Amino acid sequence: MRERIKEANRVALRRLLDAEPVLISVAQARDVVPGMGERMILHAGPPIEWERMCPPMRHGIIGGVLYEGWARTPDEVDRLVESGEVVLSPCHENSAVGSMAGITTPSMWMYEVEERSRGGRAYCGVYEGRGKTLAFGCFEQGTIDRLRWMETVLGPRLKQALAVLENGLPLKPIIAKALQMGDECHNRYVASTLWYMNELVRALLSDDVPSSEVEIVLRFMTDGHYNSFLTLSMAGCKAISDAAHGVAYSTLVTAMARNGTEFGIRVSGLGDQWFTAPAQMIQGLYFPGHDESEANPDIGDSSITETVGLGAFALVGAPVTMQVIGKGLDEALRIEQEMSEITMGRNEMFTLPYLDSRGTPVGIDIRKVVETNITPVCVTAMASTAPNVGMIGAGVVRQPVACFQDALKAFANQHRDRQA
Amino acid sequence: MRERIKEANRVALRRLLDAEPVLISVAQARDVVPGMGERMILHAGPPIEWERMCPPMRHGIIGGVLYEGWARTPDEVDRLVESGEVVLSPCHENSAVGSMAGITTPSMWMYEVEERSRGGRAYCGVYEGRGKTLAFGCFEQGTIDRLRWMETVLGPRLKQALAVLENGLPLKPIIAKALQMGDECHNRYVASTLWYMNELVRALLSDDVPSSEVEIVLRFMTDGHYNSFLTLSMAGCKAISDAAHGVAYSTLVTAMARNGTEFGIRVSGLGDQWFTAPAQMIQGLYFPGHDESEANPDIGDSSITETVGLGAFALVGAPVTMQVIGKGLDEALRIEQEMSEITMGRNEMFTLPYLDSRGTPVGIDIRKVVETNITPVCVTAMASTAPNVGMIGAGVVRQPVACFQDALKAFANQHRDRQA
């Protein structure tokens, strides 16, 4: 049995490391996301009912309904959802991931990532930018107007640009380079966004898109932030981890996701089952005028980045992130050390520039988490529980152990049954 | 006397730290570089006669003459130079700096940097790209063709872009950001070039330059390298160090430059006098097929970056550079420690991300160099002594102490005379 698990984990980790996510196109969710219904909204994290959803997720769903024009006022949303006229479903159960509340509606443009070693696909919406975004539970007119602009102006231009890149845009080389340039690729995406823009702008220019329109795209995707690569990275990481999913007897974690109420994981050898525990509060720095009284617990699918060894697992390579979240190099080193105790190996391509270019720790093993009582750490943004506020800070969160314990019990039960 | 020197150094260092280099335009050397004659070629390093010039510099001058059309064949160049028909002069004596051989001719486009705290100007030629460049002593047809293309196509477009940026492009913020992203800003300019391209492309787009022409500019300035910021950085550093030059009684080094035969320094309180010693060999890694038998000693004005606390002084923030030159983190830390022993202070804006964001050591003091016998270290590229080869490797070079000793003697003599 131990040998069987060992071999399964070897296979699963190999698949994770060999995965080759390539951005091939963008398309509206209704046209590409498998399972996306006509009146469906996807959300972050493990499954959760409307009544138990946290405020930023409910606010985001209100925004999604208003954006799609299924209702005219926020008051109508309750009825639409409760009656089942609008169906809610986790991104992860539809080959997708979503930032923060993860709100994804049929009209939104999605990055379409192909995983070339095994042939999977993964999706994530185009980054909304900073400020009052749906992802952070905003639904005011400006939020809706921006989404509409993205739908009608930005999306088609991105599609045009990606059509120029005939073999698509491989994502691992961008992430690998960015890790040498101070991104940890969860909280900070400055270098990766610059590389991505470099590719995108060239593609648009070479397709003779008028200068003024290229400028509009470039401006939207960088002004006030250099973070646009976030959701593309997430789609890439989802493609990577999905490649490692479904290996019988493997104890590898293939998804970590939070819906703002619960944190949940999936395990390679345990099918599509979720194991959940309460979402934790984030330790970090608040923007001026905000504090923990307003903060929602940990939310979003972006922890898919830690699932493949980025984010907090690569924090030691990202000094500016350490400053943003108020953590020192000593803490980053400690996290790296701890994560190496609960993982199966090291990334070969995602390396830590200051630790002799060794790979980031990768491949979380539920057995090691339970044995050591060390749980994964994620770097993440903080959302407000109030509507129409947006991001209020950033920090790190230590995930709860209970869901790893439950997963290990389920794993033991499953194999006891089989062996019986 | 000691108090007088202390106060002079305080003033000189303050001027260096307060300098605000801003790229304001590009122009052909004949139109802006003070002292540029009709048939003049500028070169790197301290002054040197044609006969004593190293091979890459002679080869570069041949290329410069051919490019300007002052001769048709390399054979004629000797006579033109020896007869004085073509005049040679150091870049540094004409408010300019030049990469490697530093060859600068009247038709070349120069970055024009304004120093806004004291009003100086500094110049450096637009980066030629990789491969067989004049800077590395090439003069074949492809080299000349590229220069001609830069003259007629690239230069005017850069001028147009910079005209859009009404207040110019401040260089210190770009350098400061790049230092957090793995550039040390002498050998590696990847992050800074991405930032620079981001500004340049936006400017061109907003001025409605046709897409195809923006693409041509972007492609030239990044393809096969991301190094274009090098010569712009050099102009910025020259502007910074010139701001600190000319403070009576100051022992601050305001220029370090190499002509490939000699290394030379200038000192703030010692006017325009050069103090020289033989140029040293570079310790580092050669590209495949090349070795030290072919290498020229240390060459170029790019050590102006170390003069203001970049390059080797910031190596500890640049893990990829360490790999490129074959040095470990321990060595980078040792260099940082050593350079702090021969400098007057720390940069306030150029900081080391992994050393608690303390500033890079800055303000080399000839007294400290002589006292400690520690000389400045530079990271640099290696040029071949053979013509038309180009870059053959990169490494670090330890500068000779003799010129610092000579400068200190001159300083003592000067002030003895004055006091007498």
pLDDT of residue B258: 98
Q: How far is CA A420 from CA A412, A414, B126, in A?
A: 12, 10, 75
Minimal C-alpha gap between A399 and chain B (Å): 27
B182 to chain A, any CB pair closer than 8 A? The answer is: yes
Contact B191 A181 (CB under 8 A): yes
Read off the CATH number of the domain in which B387 is found: 3.90.1700.10
Using the structure block, give the residue that is written with the tokens 């593609």.
A203
What's the pLDDT tens digit per position in B138-159? 999 999 999 999 999 999 999 9
φ, ψ at A164 (rounded to 5°): -70, -35
Mean pLDDT of A236-252: 98
* Residues of A whose CB is below 8 A from B214: 205, 211, 214
Q: Which domain holds residue A219?
A: 20-232
pLDDT of residue B416: 82
Distance separating alpha carbons of residues B32 and B86, to the nearest angstrom: 19
**Looking at A315-329, A378-392, B175-189, which range is the least confident one?**
A315-329
* Residues of B whose CB is below 8 A from A320: 180, 353
* Residues of A whose CB is below 8 A from B200: none
φ, ψ at A273 (rounded to 5°): -70, 140
Q: What share of chain A is helix, strand, coil (3-state, %, to 5)?
A: 45, 20, 30
Mean pLDDT of A197-205: 95
Which of B181, B208, B219 comes nearest A212 by C-beta?
B208
Contact B322, B332 (CB under 8 A): yes
- Amino acid identity of residue B75, one-letter, is D
A352 to chain B, any CB pair closer than 8 A? The answer is: no
Say yes or no: B213 and B75 in one domain. yes
What's the pLDDT tens digit per position in B224-253? 889 999 999 999 999 999 999 999 999 999
Flag whether B402 is in a domain. yes
Last residue of a domain, one of B207, B232, B257: B232
Contact B180 A319 (CB under 8 A): yes
pLDDT of residue A416: 82
> Which tokens belong to A186?
């969860």
For testing contact with chain A, the best of B174, B192, B201 (most A CBs within 10 A): B201
Using pLDDT thresholds of 50, 70 and 90, give the confidence band for residue B419: low
Flag whether A342 is in a domain. yes
Q: How far is CA B35 from CA A379, B30, B51, B90, B111, in A?
A: 56, 9, 23, 11, 16
Contact B370, B410 (CB under 8 A): no
Beta-carbon contacts of B409 under 8 Å, excluding residues fewer than 6 positions away, are: none
Minimal C-alpha gap between A302 and chain B (Å): 23
Minimal C-alpha gap between B181 and chain A (Å): 4
What's the pLDDT tens digit per position in A116-166? 999 999 999 999 999 999 999 999 999 999 999 999 999 999 999 999 998
Q: How many residues does chain A have?
A: 420
> Which tokens belong to A125?
């919406």
Say yes or no: B405 and B264 in one domain. yes
Contact B42, B91 (CB under 8 A): yes
Flag whether A90 is in a domain. yes
Minimal C-alpha gap between A364 and chain B (Å): 27
Say yes or no: A226 and A305 in one domain. no
Say yes or no: B332 and B408 in one domain. yes
* Residues of B whose CB is below 8 A from A188: none
Using the structure block, give the residue that is written with the tokens 């000779």.
B400
Distance separating alpha carbons of residues A144 and A134, to the nearest angstrom: 8
Q: Which helix (H) or strand (E) holds A95?
A: none
> Looking at the predicted structure, is the pLDDT value of residue A419 above 80?
no
Interface of B with A in 197-236 (CB under 8 A): 197-198, 201-202, 204-212, 214-215, 218-219, 222
> Which tokens belong to A58?
């409910």
Spatial CA neighbour of A308 closest among A259, A262, A281, A268: A268
> Which tokens belong to A238?
């989802």
Flag whether B392 is in a domain. yes
* Residues of B whose CB is below 8 A from A323: 357
Contact B202 A191 (CB under 8 A): no
* Residues of A whose CB is below 8 A from B320: 180, 353
Distance separating alpha carbons of residues B7 and A83, to the nearest angstrom: 80
**Looking at A259-263, B103-107, B211-215, B302-306, which range is the least confident one?**
B211-215
Minimal C-alpha gap between B175 and chain A (Å): 14
Say yes or no: B222 and B75 in one domain. yes
Contact A315, A327 (CB under 8 A): yes
Interface of B with A in 374-403 (CB under 8 A): none
Contact A143, A389 (CB under 8 A): no
Say yes or no: B252 and B204 in one domain. no
Spatial CA neighbour of A316 closest among A127, A134, A214, A188: A188
Distance separating alpha carbons of residues B286 and B293, to the nearest angstrom: 11
Beta-carbon contacts of B123 under 8 Å, excluding residues fewer than 6 positions away, are: B29, B32, B33, B94, B95, B96, B97, B110, B111, B112, B113, B235, B238
Which of A201, A210, A319 comes nearest B201 by C-beta?
A201
Tell me which DSSP letter residue A399 carries.
Answer: P
Read off the CATH number of the domain in which B25 is found: 3.90.1710.10
Provide the pairing of β-strand B109-115 with B21-28: antiparallel
Using the structure block, give the residue that is written with the tokens 């309750």.
A78
CB atoms within 10 A of CB A83: 8
Say yes or no: B113 and B207 in one domain. yes
Say yes or no: B313 and B341 in one domain. yes
Say yes or no: A273 and A404 in one domain. yes
Percent of chain A at pLDDT exceeding 70: 99
CA nearest A215 in B: which residue? B205
* Residues of A whose CB is below 8 A from B210: 211
> Which tokens belong to B156?
């005017």
CA nearest A211 in B: which residue? B205
Distance separating alpha carbons of residues A306 and A295, to the nearest angstrom: 22
Mean pLDDT of chain A: 96
Mean pLDDT of B41-70: 98
* Residues of A whose CB is below 8 A from B357: 319, 323
Report ipTM (2 d.p.).
0.92
Flag whether A338 is in a domain. yes
> Which tokens belong to B145?
């063709």
Flag whether A238 is in a domain. no
Which of A181, A201, A210 comes nearest B182 by C-beta?
A181
Contact B307, B332 (CB under 8 A): no
Flag whether A306 is in a domain. yes
For testing contact with chain A, the best of B197, B215, B356 (most A CBs within 10 A): B215
Contact B211 A205 (CB under 8 A): yes
A326 to chain B, any CB pair closer than 8 A? The answer is: no
Distance separating alpha carbons of residues B102 and A360, to the nearest angstrom: 42
Which of A208, A211, A222 comes nearest B205 by C-beta?
A211
Q: How far is CA A336 from CA A315, A351, A354, B143, B320, in A?
A: 8, 12, 12, 48, 20
What's the pLDDT tens digit per position in B73-89? 999 999 999 999 999 99
A182 to chain B, any CB pair closer than 8 A? The answer is: yes
pLDDT of residue B418: 63
What's the pLDDT tens digit per position in B368-406? 999 999 999 999 999 999 999 999 999 999 999 999 999
Which of A205, A209, A354 comes nearest B354 by C-beta?
A354
Concatenate the DSSP letters of all residues of B152-210 into one string: IIIHHHHHHHHHHSTT-EEHHHHHHHHHTTT--SSS--HHHHHHHHHHHHHHHHHTT--
* Residues of B whose CB is below 8 A from A214: 205, 211, 214
pLDDT of residue B417: 65
Residues facing residue A213 across a β-bridge: none
Measured CA angle at A112 (ends A106, A118), to 5 deg: 130
B173 to chain A, any CB pair closer than 8 A? The answer is: no
CA nearest A189 in B: which residue? B181
A37 to chain B, any CB pair closer than 8 A? The answer is: no
Which of B180, B215, B319 comes nearest A180 by C-beta?
B319
Last residue of a domain, one of A205, A232, A259: A232
Helix ranges (H only) for A165-189 are 171-179
Instruction: Name the CA radius of gyration of chain A, rounded.
Output: 20
CB atoms within 10 A of CB A280: 16
Long-range contacts formed by A405-408: CB under 8 A, 24+ apart: A405/A370, A406/A275, A406/A277, A407/A265, A407/A267, A407/A270, A407/A275, A407/A366, A408/A251, A408/A366, A408/A367, A408/A370
Say yes or no: A81 and A121 in one domain. yes
Contact A214 B205 (CB under 8 A): yes
What's the pLDDT tens digit per position in A210-239? 999 999 999 999 988 899 999 999 999 999
Tell me the three state secondary structure of residue B264: strand
Distance of CA B307 to the CA centre of its chain: 10
pLDDT of residue A418: 63
* HSE toward the beta carbon, residue B391, CA cutoff 13 A: 19
pLDDT of residue B88: 98
End-to-end distance of chain A based on CA atoms, in angstroms? Answer: 13
Say yes or no: A277 and A402 in one domain. yes
Percent of chain B at pLDDT exceeding 70: 99
A357 to chain B, any CB pair closer than 8 A? The answer is: yes
Flag whether A315 is in a domain. yes
For testing contact with chain B, the best of A164, A183, A196, A201 (most B CBs within 10 A): A201
A195 to chain B, any CB pair closer than 8 A? The answer is: yes
Provide the pairing of β-strand B299-300 with B253-259: antiparallel
Say yes or no: B356 and B300 in one domain. yes
A194 to chain B, any CB pair closer than 8 A? The answer is: yes
- Amino acid identity of residue A66, one-letter, is L
Last residue of a domain, one of A206, A232, A258: A232
A190 to chain B, any CB pair closer than 8 A? The answer is: yes
Contact A202 B209 (CB under 8 A): no
Q: How far is CA B46 from CA A245, B58, B259, in A?
A: 64, 15, 6
Contact A306, A258 (CB under 8 A): no
Instruction: Name the CA radius of gyration of chain B, rounded.
Output: 20
Contact B211 A215 (CB under 8 A): no
> Which tokens belong to B13?
């260092």
User: Total structural domains in chain B?
Assistant: 2
* Residues of A whose CB is below 8 A from B229: none
Beta-carbon contacts of A216 under 8 Å, excluding residues fewer than 6 positions away, are: A153, A157
Using the structure block, give the residue that is written with the tokens 């019988």.
A248
φ, ψ at B373 (rounded to 5°): 60, 20
